[in-house]
Amino acid sequence: MTLPTNVTIVEVGPRDGLQNESPVSTRTKIRLIDLLSDTGLSHIEAGSFVSPKWVPQMADSKEVMQNITRRASVTYSALTPNLQGLEQALDAGANQVAIFTSASEGFCQHNINCSIAESLKRFEPLMVQADKYHIPVRG
């Protein structure tokens, strides 16, 4: 087996670290991402384009992504569960999108309201569309 010679570390704190906490102001999120950008990180997951009904803490992801101070050396990504999320991420200026599923049927049903097979099927049109716009997809 050949192991990879390098890995990419993605800072997901602005998304994963805040999505289950009490709401944080848009201004604070922007400041957090700007400060993280200053540390030399190369990849920051800045938001999530999911239903605000289920994850209200991420409802301002477009505003956050459009107002951060972008560094040329940083890739700013967004979590996108479906084609609608991809369109929103593109509109917000994401350099990369992240897709997700689960290894557990129960968790997949609970987290994204579908089976693993259904979640993989949802990725097909998203990946075709992302390819059209030359946007990398991270899984």
Instruction: Please tell me the pTM assigned to this model.
Output: 0.90
Does 3 reside within a domain?
Answer: no
What is the model's pLDDT at position 95? 96
- Report the Cα 71 to chain-centroid distance in Å: 18
Q: pLDDT tens for residues 21-65?
A: 999 999 999 999 999 999 999 999 999 999 999 899 999 999 999
- How many domains does the chain contain in total? 1
Does 8 reside within a domain?
Answer: no
Angle formed at CA 57 by CA 63 and CA 24, multiple of 5 degrees: 80
Does 1 reside within a domain?
Answer: no
Q: pLDDT tens for residues 81-118?
A: 889 999 999 999 999 999 988 899 998 888 888 899 99
Token pair belonging to 13: 């704190």
What is the model's pLDDT at position 130? 97
Q: Closest Cα to residue 98, out of 58, 38, 67?
A: 58
Does 29 reside within a domain?
Answer: yes
**3-state SS class at 77:** strand
Residue numbers of the domain that contains 21: 13-138
CA distance 55 to 34: 23
What is the model's pLDDT at position 112? 81
